[in-house]
Amino acid sequence: MICRIISSLALTFFAASVFAIDSEQAFNNPDLQARYENLIAEVRCVTCQNQNIKDSNAFIAADLRREIRRMIREGLNNNEIKDFLVTRYGDFVLYRPRYEGKAIILWIAPFLFFVFGGIAVVRVIRYRANLPIDEALDKDGPNQ
C-alpha cells in the first residue's frame, strides 16, 4: 500500500517535469543561471495567471523566458529587466509587487492592521482591568 502511494506520488511529480519546456540549463555561468531561474519564478504568466513563467508552457511564457535570457546575456540588471516587463504588462506581471506607487499600501497594510489591532486590544484590557470585579461579572462587557 505504502509502496503504491509512493509510486503514485513519484509519478505525479515526474509528470510535471515532462511538461516543462526549455528547462535545460540556459547559461554556463552558474550565477547567471541562478539569476535567470529566480527571475522566471517571479514573473507571472499573463495568460495562465496562477502560474509563473518558469512552470508554464504557454507561448507567451516561452517568449518571455526567451526575452529574459536575451536581456541577461546583454548584461541588463534585474531592475532593468523588471522595468521591461512592467512597461509592457503592468505591475501585475511581478509576483512580488515593487515597493513603489500604489503597491506601497500592500506592503504597509499588514503593519497598520497590527498596530491598530494592538492599540484596540491594549485599550480593552486596560478598561476591563479598571472595572470593579462584581460589575465585570454582571455585565457582558463595556457598555457605556
Residues of the shown chain interacting with another protein in the complex, contacts defined by CB under 8 A: 46-47, 49, 59-60, 63-64, 66-67, 86-90, 92, 142
Which sign, positive or negative, has the C-alpha torsion 81, 28, 40, 47? positive
Cell of 45: 504568466
Nearer to another protein, 44 or 54 (CB): 44
d(CA 62, CA 60): 5
Nearer to another protein, 7 or 92 (CB): 92
Nearer to another protein, 15 or 117 (CB): 117
CA distance readout (Å), 99 to 96, 108, 110, 137:
9, 10, 14, 49
Nearer to another protein, 86 or 136 (CB): 86
In whole angstroms, how close is the CB of 4 to another protein at the nearest point? 38
CA distance readout (Å), 144 to 52, 127, 139, 140, 141:
54, 12, 11, 12, 10
In whole angstroms, how close is the CB of 132 to another protein at the nearest point? 20
Closest CA to 43 of 81, 7, 2: 81
In whole angstroms, how close is the CB of 23 to another protein at the nearest point? 19
In whole angstroms, how close is the CB of 140 to another protein at the nearest point? 13
